[in-house]
């Protein structure tokens, strides 16, 4: 099997020997760095699964034996991959995102979207450059002679022997063919303006901020307060990806204390799959070098270098918990003065056997175009009646008036009457993902939805008919009134 590159040359491809899915170009261009050179290779998804499984404790075998442990070894020759597999995954992810440069955000998965948003980060650029250097050192000319160019490597025999250098701006340069334009990461010009410290509104991150980098926090808050429906929908998708990183697939109920403890313990590893790879790879390299040094000094051979990195939970102190407690208290005070809309945007992913098996009920409604609707509590009775409770909180009117000191009654109209679809009842799967009565369906599979219950069912019917699978992606509550209210709230808080 093969695929076309930008140079119209064929790159040999094959099915992954583990999951049997078709391997991407990046899987072939960045093979596993097997010390025995056995040539065994598998896809990036299986690489990530292997890394994840290696972090688990001893498991139980079919005969009841509790000595089953997964290590980062080549499935074919059992050579140790722990020092290089994270570099391989990072390079594959970077190459994949580069080839998706023409793909819109709506078509990317949450993981791909987060990768796109951090690819220009200085830490990520540096890690990619170092990973390429180590890969070039490992393969020498072999990789260049057998794999077609994807902007990372040269293919000519002479270029294979050339070193790769990186200038102070992080630009990759091939000494034979010059700088590859697709890999240029120029340093931003210094404007000479020192920005004041920006306080991030953590109330918009729904408690997930501990699992995000400061850059990711700022990105999501900027999207949430942009005043654009499409940008707010994008933020909901990113937050869903963060949630999956921390807790996995929705459906496992945990207590509030257990959930908080779990987030604290996994915040470093969960802040981004990319940063986690970088941190873990660095830890493994340091651990390997330390073990080799001890072995040389003691005249012993280092053993078991493939053990997973420490989670970092033991290094946490009481100060971290105290800082989190203070942050929560500050957010509560902020919410008391400047309340959030009662329905905030959320992303859900549901499995549908067919278009008739929706895990929730629906009912038609009309938005009257008034901004205060974002703060109106909507409830649906068993008989199908829709009840709307007007807000009395003075903070609501501060937001509507866009004045932190003016809480007089005002209800601006920002649009004309428009039909919409409300969730009237919720069943198991949707409920586990946070869908509640009164939620408003605003996006279906990345496309904005406006219409009636009949329009929704027709859209779902068409989507199921077009899609090979039965996965339905919905964004709820990313509607005009909510988006405008969040924007105004941010304006008066600043």
Average pLDDT over all residues of the chain? 74
The CA-CA-CA angle for residues 222, 223, 228, to 5°, reads 125
Q: Which residue in this structure is represented by tokens 């990711």?
A: 216
Residue ranges of the chain with pLDDT lower than 50? 1-9, 142-197, 251-256, 258-259, 261-271, 299-317
Does the pTM of the predicted model rise above 0.95?
Answer: no
Closest CA to 476 of 340, 342, 344, 341: 344
Specify the pLDDT at position 193: 41
pLDDT per residue as tens digits for the range 110-151 = 777 878 888 888 888 888 999 898 888 888 754 444 443 444
pLDDT per residue as tens digits for the range 273-285 = 677 677 777 777 7
Write the CB contacts of 382 (distance below 8 Å, at least 6 apart in sequence).
Answer: none
pLDDT per residue as tens digits for the range 434-473 = 899 999 999 998 899 999 999 998 888 887 777 655 788 8
- Spatial distance between the Cα atoms of 211 and 234, rounded to a whole number of angstroms: 18
Specify the pLDDT at position 188: 42
Specify the pLDDT at position 372: 93
Specify the pLDDT at position 245: 76
Quick one: tokens of 294? Answer: 């001890």
Query: How many Cα atoms occupy the beta-carbon half-sphere of 212 within 13 Å?
Result: 28
């Amino acid at each position: 099997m093969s695929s076309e590159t930008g140079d119209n040359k064929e790159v040999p491809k094959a099915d992954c020997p583990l999951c049997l899915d078709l391997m991407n170009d990046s899987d072939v261009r960045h093979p596993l760095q097997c010390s025995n050179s056995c040539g065994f290779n598998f896809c990036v998804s299986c690489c990530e699964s292997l890394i994840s499984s290696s972090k688990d404790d001893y498991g139980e075998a079919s005969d009841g034996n509790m000595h089953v442990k997964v290590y980062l070894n080549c499935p074919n020759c059992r050579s140790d991959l722990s020092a290089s597999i994270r570099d391989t995954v990072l390079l594959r992810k970077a190459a994949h995102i580069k080839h998706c440069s023409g793909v819109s955000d709506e078509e990317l998965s949450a993981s791909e979207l987060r990768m796109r948003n951090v690819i220009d980060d200085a830490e990520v650029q540096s890690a990619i450059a170092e990973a390429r250097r180590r890969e070039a050192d490992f393969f020498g000319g072999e990789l260049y002679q057998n794999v077609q160019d994807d902007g990372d490597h040269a293919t000519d025999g002479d270029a294979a022997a050339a070193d790769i250098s990186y200038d102070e701006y992080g630009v990759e340069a091939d000494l034979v063919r010059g700088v590859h334009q697709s890999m240029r990461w120029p340093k931003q010009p210094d404007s000479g303006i020192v920005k004041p410290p920006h306080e991030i509104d953590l109330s918009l991150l729904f408690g997930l901020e501990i699992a995000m980098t400061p850059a990711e926090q700022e990105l999501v808050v900027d999207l949430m307060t942009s005043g654009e429906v499409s940008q707010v929908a994008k933020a909901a998708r990113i937050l869903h990806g963060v949630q999956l990183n921390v807790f996995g697939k929705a459906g496992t109920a945990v207590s509030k204390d257990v959930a908080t403890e779990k987030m604290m313990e996994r915040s470093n590893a969960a802040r981004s799959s990319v940063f986690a790879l970088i941190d873990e790879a660095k830890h493994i390299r340091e651990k390997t070098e330390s073990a080799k040094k001890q072995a040389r000094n003691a005249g012993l051979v280092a053993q078991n270098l493939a053990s997973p990195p420490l989670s970092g939970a033991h290094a946490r102190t009481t100060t971290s918990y105290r800082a989190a407690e203070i942050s929560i208290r500050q957010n509560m005070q902020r919410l008391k003065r400047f309340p959030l809309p009662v329905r905030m945007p959320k992303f859900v992913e549901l499995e549908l056997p067919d278009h008739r098996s929706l895990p929730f009920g629906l009912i038609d409604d009309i938005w009257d175009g008034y901004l205060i609707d974002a703060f109106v509590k909507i409830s649906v009775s068993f008989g199908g009646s829709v009840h709307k409770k007007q807000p009395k909180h003075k903070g609501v009117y501060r937001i509507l008036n866009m004045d932190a000191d003016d809480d007089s009654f005002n209800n601006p109209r920002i649009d004309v009457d428009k039909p919409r679809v409300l969730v009237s009842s919720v069943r198991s799967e949707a409920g586990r993902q946070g869908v509640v009565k009164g939620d408003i369906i605003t996006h279906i599979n990345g496309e904005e939805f406006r219409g009636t219950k009949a329009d929704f069912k027709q859209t779902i019917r068409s989507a199921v008919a077009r899609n090979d699978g039965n996965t339905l992606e919905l964004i709820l509550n990313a509607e005009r009134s909510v988006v405008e209210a969040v924007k105004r709230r941010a304006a008066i808080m600043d």
